[in-house]
Amino acid sequence: MKKLIFSLFIFVNFIFAKQVVIVDLWPVPSLLAFITKDANMVLIPKASSNFINNSLLVKFYPQLKNIKSSNNPSLEELLALNADLYICHINDLKICEFLSKSGKEVLKLTINVDNYNSRSALKHWLESLNKYFDIKQISDKLLSNIDEVEKEINLKLYNIKPIKAVALRGYDGNKIMTSTGFVDYLFKKTGATNAFKFNGFNNSYLNLEEFYSLNPDIIYITNFTPLQVEDIMQDKNLQNLKAVKNKKVFKLPLGSYRPTAPSLDLSLILKFLANNNHPELFNYDIKAEFKKHFKEFYDINLSENDLNLIMNPKREAGISK
């Protein structure tokens, strides 16, 4: 009987939820899944779909598994969906303007707020979405939590010299792709500088010689690549890097979304980075923090297997296409 009532509840929510199309903004589908039951997503980016199907989201939100996905939907396809709300990147002028002129409800979002500040971008998204979904209470709570963690970490970092860090987005044995943007914010808030940006390279693709010239203290592997820690640690071309010698290579956790883009896990990622950048100052229990966060904000009880998946993401989750 309880299962029947629960299924009926889900069905009723599905029927009355807003039909939503999301174009190009990869983090938004998972964000909506966690903070509202009033969004029935009918089209999302393919990169978002790949993340969903290779992360813990598919367990807690199985209805997301079969959502139609496309990285380049045609204007005719978008129009035919006749959704209640279309969410698009503000720079996708052709799509945004076409939908607006066609009489569709369009929400334009940007990712670059305050020079790629993750907290500011997340605030912009949540406040914009609040016009369509009743999410103010959880949004305020999430942002307040981020502020508290930023202050807590900042107090301990007073007068501490930043370490040199890099975030890898790809490596093929010869060329290394590094990340800037939101990574700069994440490093700055946790006692590190982006070695790539600090050295003034203009191209994010580096050859081995250029990468060695950075010689970072620590290497993070983003979730926009299938690369794992062992791929870097065992690569014969990278054995003389300081970070490899000192075993300071880490894969970023993967919770609600890839953390080098704005995500609801921002406060947790700041704690993870602080732990590894300055272990002499920080000793957060990251698994316990994720467990507490998911229960407090989304009423989700994470199992040990769920936590292991967060801390050890699948290779497939890093395929962003």
Region 177-192: what's the mean pLDDT?
95
Tokens 């290394």 belong to which residue?
176
Question: Which of helix, strand or coil describes residue 277?
Answer: helix
With a cut of 60, say whether residue 4 has pLDDT above it.
Answer: no
Judge residue 197's burial from the number of C-beta atoms within 10 Å of its C-beta, 0-12 exposed, 13-18 middle, 19 or more buried.
Answer: middle
Confidence band for 203, pLDDT divided at 50, 70 and 90: low
d(CA 67, CA 212): 43
How does DSSP assign 121-160, residue by residue? HHHHHHHHHTTTSS-HHHHHHHHHHHHHHHHHHHHHTTTP
Of 10-19, 101-110, 135-144, 178-187, minimum mean pLDDT range:
10-19
pTM for this predicted structure = 0.92
Confidence band for 6, pLDDT divided at 50, 70 and 90: very low
Residue-level pLDDT at 202: 53
Residue-level pLDDT at 288: 98
Of 141-150, 160-169, 191-200, 224-233, minimum mean pLDDT range:
191-200
d(CA 267, CA 37): 23
The residue type at 166: V
CA distances from 163 to 69, 193, 273, 320 (A): 40, 6, 12, 29
Residue-level pLDDT at 101: 94
Decide if 214 contacts 257 (C-beta within 8 A): no
Confidence band for 197, pLDDT divided at 50, 70 and 90: confident
Just give the CATH number of 2-109.
3.40.50.1980
Fold adopted by 145-318 = Rossmann fold (3.40.50)
With a cut of 70, say whether residue 30 has pLDDT above it.
Answer: yes
**Hey, where are the domains in the chain?**
2-109, 145-318
Residue-level pLDDT at 15: 46
Tokens of 35: 């903070």
Long-range contacts of 35-41 (CB under 8 A, 24+ apart): 35/126, 35/133, 35/135, 35/138, 35/139, 35/264, 35/298, 36/129, 36/133, 36/134, 36/135, 37/13, 38/13, 38/133, 38/134, 39/133, 40/14, 41/67
Tokens of 289: 């923090």
Q: Which of 242, 234, 298 is nearest to 268 (CA)?
A: 298
**pLDDT digit string (tens) for 240-255?**
999 999 999 999 999 9
Region 131-143: what's the mean pLDDT?
97
**pLDDT digit string (tens) for 70-129?**
988 999 999 999 999 999 999 988 999 999 999 999 999 999 999 999 999 999 999 999
Check for a shared fold between 2-109 and 145-318.
yes
Tokens 């996905």 belong to which residue?
69
d(CA 155, CA 161): 13
Residue-level pLDDT at 159: 93
